[in-house]
């Protein structure tokens, strides 16, 4: 495809990017009209998104996929990519020459050649960790870009690879315990991967991802505000997943875990400063209280539901004076208030039913 000889960097990069999701190709296929897309991006279409031609077949393009892999390997560095692509092209043409010749060349190198190879291997090993950090970071960017472009299959796969890299880095770096930073990154990556799996309808995989996210976050040596928030979010996502499958007991367990984590954090904060008066922390706590209230209502536990609802309402009132008009907090406050009112009405109706019967 002439990547090795392309001069304009933008052309090289854009040749590796799908016009539908605006991210690096993932499982690319070629249309009859010679346009390329990720398989997932073009799957639902009957016409080419670039030229409108009818689609009769989608031909897999492993060579393009290889180039994308090469681009990922060099973390999107265009110069390194061109050099690698040119090297590969040269190696390819050599390989298509006679095999006997290349074997002979290897044998002629003798013992000195072997020593040289060992030397360069050692050098590449010492710079591996830095490369791995960069690659994990680049993989994360690719995943986020695919996610933003709506290609959840690509995003899920890239988050998965990012996670593998982060795990091996964290394991290599930590002798006894993991750093807060590694735990938060892994918690985020697994959580995002879970969201993608959920969007793809792969609920078992999503459940596993949310559980992994919680697992990694719990490894953190400190319960910082960031860890607390991420833990609560992942528990709520797991709860929502169970809820959607009508696994109400499991949903309650996850929502309750999230609530306990937030309540505990607020208690610590209250001792430090004015803690839960901090608006966003309070609103997050209200969210958790309402989720638990809702699931208790679904499970028929009106008393527990009412208690949580009352706590949520008190908090909503107590923070209302500290909310800036027009802020995101104001919108969230209003949304929570509406939810609380609806849930209150349902609970009252249920209690009236009980009185009647």
Task: Lay out the site mask for Zn ion across 28-47 (x = CB under 5 A, - = otherwise).
Answer: -----x-x--x--x------
Query: Exactly one of 12, 16, 17, 21 binds Zn ion (CB under 5 A); which one?
Result: 21
Interaction of residue 18 with Zn ion, rule CB under 5 A: yes
Contact 238, 214 (CB under 8 A): yes
Residue 233 near Zn ion by CB under 5 A: no
* Least distance between Zn ion and beta carbon 40 (Å): 7
Least gap, CB of 77 to Zn ion (angstroms): 22
Among 20, 135, 161, 262, binds Zn ion (CB under 5 A): 20
Q: Which of residues 53-92 bind Zn ion (CB under 5 A)?
A: 53
Sign of CA dihedral 276, 278, 280, 281: negative
**51 lies in the site for Zn ion, by CB under 5 A:** yes
Binding-site size, Zn ion (CB under 5 A): 12
Q: Which of 50, 70, 200, 260 binds Zn ion (CB under 5 A)?
A: 50
* Among the listed residues 4, 6, 13, 48, the single contact to Zn ion using CB under 5 A: 48
- Helix boundaries (H) for the chain: 9-15, 39-42, 62-73, 78-96, 99-126, 128-148, 152-173, 180-199, 203-218, 225-244, 248-272, 279-298, 302-319, 328-356
Residue 162: beta bridge partners? none
- Provide the minimum distance between the beta carbon of 47 and Zn ion in the complex, in angstroms, as a whole number: 8
d(CA 13, CA 70): 12
Q: Which residue has the tokens 């007991």?
A: 249
First-to-final CA distance of the chain: 76
Compose the 158-187 pattern: x for residues touching Zn ion by CB under 5 A, - for all others. Answer: ------------------------------
Please state, in angstroms and rounded to a whole number, the distance separating the CA atoms of residues 282 and 269. 11
**Helix (H/G/I), strand (E/B), else coil: 37:** strand
- Positions touching Zn ion (CB under 5 A) are 18, 20-21, 33, 35, 38, 41, 48, 50-51, 53, 151
């Amino acid at each position: 495809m002439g990547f090795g000889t392309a001069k304009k960097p933008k052309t090289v990069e854009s040749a590796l990017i799908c016009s539908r999701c605006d991210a690096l190709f993932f499982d690319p296929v070629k249309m009859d009209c010679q346009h390329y897309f990720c398989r997932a991006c073009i799957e639902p279409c009957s016409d080419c998104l670039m030229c409108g031609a009818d689609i009769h077949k989608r031909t897999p393009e492993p060579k393009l996929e290889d180039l994308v892999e090469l681009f990922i390997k060099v973390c999107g560095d265009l110069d390194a990519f061109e050099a690698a692509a040119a090297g590969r092209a040269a190696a390819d043409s050599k390989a298509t020459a006679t095999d006997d010749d290349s074997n002979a060349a290897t044998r002629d190198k003798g013992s000195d050649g072997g020593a040289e190879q060992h030397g360069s291997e050692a050098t590449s090993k010492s710079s591996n960790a830095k490369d791995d950090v960069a690659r994990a970071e680049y993989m994360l960017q690719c995943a986020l870009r695919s996610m933003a472009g709506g290609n959840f299959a690509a995003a899920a796969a890239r988050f998965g690879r990012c996670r593998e890299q982060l795990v091996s880095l964290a394991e290599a770096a930590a002798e006894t315990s993991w750093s807060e930073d590694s735990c938060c990154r892994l918690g985020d990556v697994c959580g995002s991967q879970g969201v993608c799996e959920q969007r793809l309808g792969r609920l078992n995989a999503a459940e596993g991802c949310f559980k992994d996210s919680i697992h990694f976050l719990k490894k953190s040596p400190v319960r910082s505000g960031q860890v607390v928030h991420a833990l609560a979010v992942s528990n709520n996502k797991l709860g929502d997943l169970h809820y959607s499958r009508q696994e109400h007991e499991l949903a309650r367990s996850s929502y309750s875990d999230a609530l306990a984590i937030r309540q505990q954090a607020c208690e610590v904060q209250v001792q430090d400063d004015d803690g839960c008066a901090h608006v966003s922390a309070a609103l997050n706590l209200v969210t958790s209280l309402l989720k638990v209230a809702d699931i208790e209502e679904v499970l028929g536990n009106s008393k527990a539901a009412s208690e949580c609802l009352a706590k949520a309402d008190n908090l909503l009132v107590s923070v209302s004076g500290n909310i800036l008009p027009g802020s995101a907090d104001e919108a969230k406050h209003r949304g929570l208030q509406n939810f609380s009112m609806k849930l209150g009405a349902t609970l009252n109706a249920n209690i009236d039913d009980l009185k009647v019967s």
